[in-house]
Amino acid sequence: MKELVTCKNLTKQYGSKLALNNINLSLEPGKIIGLLGPNGSGKTTLIKILNQLTFPTSGEVLIAGNPLSVTTKSLISYLPDRMYLGNWMHVSDALDFFSDFYTDFDRSRAQDMLSKLNIRLSDTIRAMSKGTKEKLQLILVMSRRAALYCLDEPIAGVDPAARDYILSTILNNYAPDAAILISTHLISDIENILDEVIFIRDGAIVLQSSVDDLRIQNGKSVDHVFREVFKC
């Protein structure tokens, strides 16, 4: 199968701190991949590089065979670990914004999901609760027909009910030929939807395996393996 993401000897250094250390990685389409590691392990840095929010010190990244560029930005749907929509926007503005810039944005799908949550198009983002903002952002991101979804800590800091909503939204809305890269350290909540896991520690990949192989080889859940690998 053709690789969707390829990282070759990828290194990122912030001053004297090595955030990513010579990473070699390939991701295939049609999979949900968990990028798992403790805080400060380099998960967000890797996702930021894929989205060109920071640049590698050395090494190469290819998305669907293309080097990082404006073209690769149109292939990736990115959910950061923070609110990136302007507070001045109404929900309708946010929908217009995504429709204008992303040709793969499915507006009717987004509107359908918003109406199920009773989020009105006239609502302003400024007046929304943190949880509603996060759901709006997730809906916008998952309403794109992208080749790669990069979701950075999508379930961190949300209540269990919201967690279920987020996971079901992810599962019900991604295209089968797309890949989803989910970064998190909350393994137990997410491991049931993962096809593959990548363990990252101190900027280096310590394991990449399919979830089924990992469970069979260790006779344990991914969460248990993670706890053993990252034991303090």
* Residues in the chain, overall count: 232
Burial 108-146 (b: 16+ CB within 10 A, else e): eebbebbeeeebeeebebeebeeebbbbbbbbbbbbbbb
Contact 136, 94 (CB under 8 A): yes
- In the complex with other proteins, which residue's Cβ is closer, 54 or 210? 54
- In the complex with other proteins, which residue's Cβ is closer, 118 or 129? 129
Tell me how far, at minimum, the Cβ of 135 lies from other proteins, in Å. Answer: 17
Tell me how far, at minimum, the Cβ of 138 lies from other proteins, in Å. Answer: 14
Tell me how far, at minimum, the Cβ of 85 lies from other proteins, in Å. Answer: 7
- In the complex with other proteins, which residue's Cβ is closer, 20 or 187? 20
Tell me how far, at minimum, the Cβ of 69 lies from other proteins, in Å. Answer: 9
Tell me how far, at minimum, the Cβ of 131 lies from other proteins, in Å. Answer: 17
3-state secondary structure of 200: strand
Position 89, amino acid: M
- In the complex with other proteins, which residue's Cβ is closer, 97 or 230? 97
Please give the residue ranges that form the binding site for other proteins (CB under 8 A): 14, 48, 51-55, 70-71, 73-74, 76, 78, 80, 82-86, 88, 93, 97, 100-102
Token representation of residue 154: 């999508």
Sheet holding 58-63, edge to edge: 17-27, 5-14, 58-63, 66-67
- In the complex with other proteins, which residue's Cβ is closer, 53 or 171? 53
